[in-house]
Amino acid sequence: MANVGMVGLDWQERVDWDRLRKYRLERARERMKAHGLGAMLLMYDENVRYVTSTLTPGWNRLKPGLRYALLCGDDAPVLFEQGDIGLHIAKHSPWIPKENIRYSYAWIKGAAGAASLQQVTKFTNAITQEMKKRGVDGMKLGVDFVDINMIQIFKDAKIDWTDGMTPMMEARAIKNRDEQECMRQVGAIGDAAHWEFMKFLKPGLTENQLTAHIMEFLYSIPGMEDVEDVIVSSGLNTWPNWRNFSDRIIKPGDMVFMDLAALTWNGYKSCYYRTYMVGREPNQEQKDYYATALKWLYDSIRAVKVGATTREIALQWPSAKEAWGYEEEDQAAANLWGHGLGLAQYDQPVISRIWSLEHPIEIKEGMVFALETQHGKPHQWGVRI
């Protein structure tokens, strides 16, 4: 498609939301069966969203267990929504059968104290009843989240539970044409946000003010659900990359980068960096560092093709010791980096010299991921692309 039009039209095909919803649900179901699971209990919001295509408030997304979904065999998913928010879901999302929308039993990771066991017991009873009703009781249950309260109650209930995150990671890794179009929309919004940033950036503003301005800009765009971070780092905050913003005042001659991680448009997330120079041209040393980071980036981009592996991509980058004198790759985690994007900020594949050299993943058609490089002089300035 690649037309990045934002609204539906009668005369042009754009994102087909019904096709997208069906693809995601059946993709999850296919991976569930491939792993020998009778059902999956999903508590992370990216997985709940993937199989139910329902939206919940931001605070609800951050705490696994406030809402959750159960996918059993060939049946429609059952959504356990927080409190009476399910009444909105029933009105907004007719693709979920009304009888499959329930209220959740939450214990908020143990914040309910002694009542947590009571709540997990109710939670478990509801899950086992649904599995029995749908003919998958006694079969393996995949779970994407577990805590100490669940472990004991699941054992008492004789639930045969296992890893349910891997099937969902595999499912989410391959995007259909509509998901890919959503990611193009996200990219176009990112382009606009960086243009707005470039126009607004000037000496005297603080990192906070720049972040706030871009937050306001992004939230004015239809379909924008959340802006997790607009990271603005300047001067000495750019290297090592502080990955944050503060009340630091931008000065003439500062190097600044802005990181859109992550604007969320119709569920789909960004990871989009650019580097700026304030009030003057960069000097030759700064240009050289930028050119080095740019070479690392394009070398890795050229290694991307269907059938290649994450190892081949990671090998295009220098080791942490070669680049910055670090003893271990983990000290440079996310400096030279790649990661899938979708309903989560980190879908597969995740590419790093920390693990990709010894545990490569095959690049497959339909994967969508970001590649990121950076370089700099400690506590002076840095670049990020």
pLDDT by residue (tens digit) across 277-300? Answer: 999 999 999 999 999 999 999 999
Sequence-ordered alpha helix ranges (H) in 6-110:
17-34, 45-52, 58-61, 86-92
- Domain-by-domain residue ranges, the chain? 17-173, 177-384
State how far the Cα of 80 lies from the Cα of 105, in Å rounded to an integer. Answer: 8
Residues contacting residue 142 through CB under 8 Å, at least 6 positions apart: 32, 35, 37, 39, 40, 41, 161, 162, 163, 164, 165, 167
What pLDDT shows up at residue 228? 92
Protein fold of 177-384: Creatine Amidinohydrolase (3.90.230)
For every residue of 140-193, DSSP letters joined together read -EEES---HHHHHHHHHTT--EEE-HHHHHHHHHS--HHHHHHHHHHHHHHHHH
Give me 252's structure tokens. Answer: 């003439």
Question: Measured between alpha carbons, how far is 183 from 204 in angstroms, rounded to an integer?
Answer: 34
* pLDDT score for 2: 65
- Partners of residue 235 on adjacent β-strands: none
* Integer Cα distance of 14 and 287 in angstroms: 40
Q: What percent of the chain has pLDDT over 90?
A: 94
Output the pLDDT for position 262: 87
- Within this chain, domains 17-173 and 177-384 share the same CATH topology: no
Is 322 exposed, middle or buried (CB count within 10 Å of its CB: 0-12, 13-18, 19+)?
A: exposed
In order along its 385 residues, the chain shows pLDDT tens digits of 566 788 888 888 899 999 999 999 999 999 999 999 999 999 999 999 999 999 999 999 988 999 999 999 999 999 999 999 999 999 999 999 999 999 999 999 888 999 999 999 999 999 999 999 999 999 999 999 999 999 999 999 999 999 999 999 999 999 999 999 999 999 999 999 999 999 999 999 999 999 999 999 999 999 999 999 999 999 999 999 999 999 999 999 999 999 998 899 999 999 999 999 999 999 999 999 999 999 999 999 999 999 999 999 999 999 999 999 999 999 999 999 999 999 999 999 999 999 999 999 999 999 999 999 999 999 999 999 9
Q: How many CA atoms lie within 13 A of 182 on its CB side?
A: 25
Please check whether residue 177 is in contact with residue 192, taking contact to mean a CB–CB distance below 8 angstroms: no
For residue 206, the 8-state DSSP code is B
Between CA 287 and CA 260 the distance in angstroms is: 23
Pairing assessment for the beta strands 39-42 and 141-143 based on DSSP bridges: parallel
d(CA 155, CA 152): 5
Grouping H, G, I as helix, E, B as strand and the rest as coil, residue 334 is: coil
pLDDT of residue 6: 86
| CA nearest neighbour of 67 among 108, 117, 7 | 108
- What pLDDT is recorded for position 10? 85
Is there a contact between 173 and 347 (Cβ–Cβ < 8 Å)?
Answer: yes
- Given this model, what pLDDT does residue 5 score? 82
CATH topology of domain 17-173: Creatine Amidinohydrolase; Chain A, domain 1 (3.40.350)
Res 328: pLDDT: 97
Q: Measured between alpha carbons, how far is 87 from 97 in angstroms, rounded to an integer? A: 12
Q: What burial letters (b/e) apply to 146-175, b meaning 16+ CB within 10 Å? A: beebbeebbeeeebebeebbebbbbbbbbb
> Which amino acid is it at 294?
L
Residue 45 pLDDT = 97
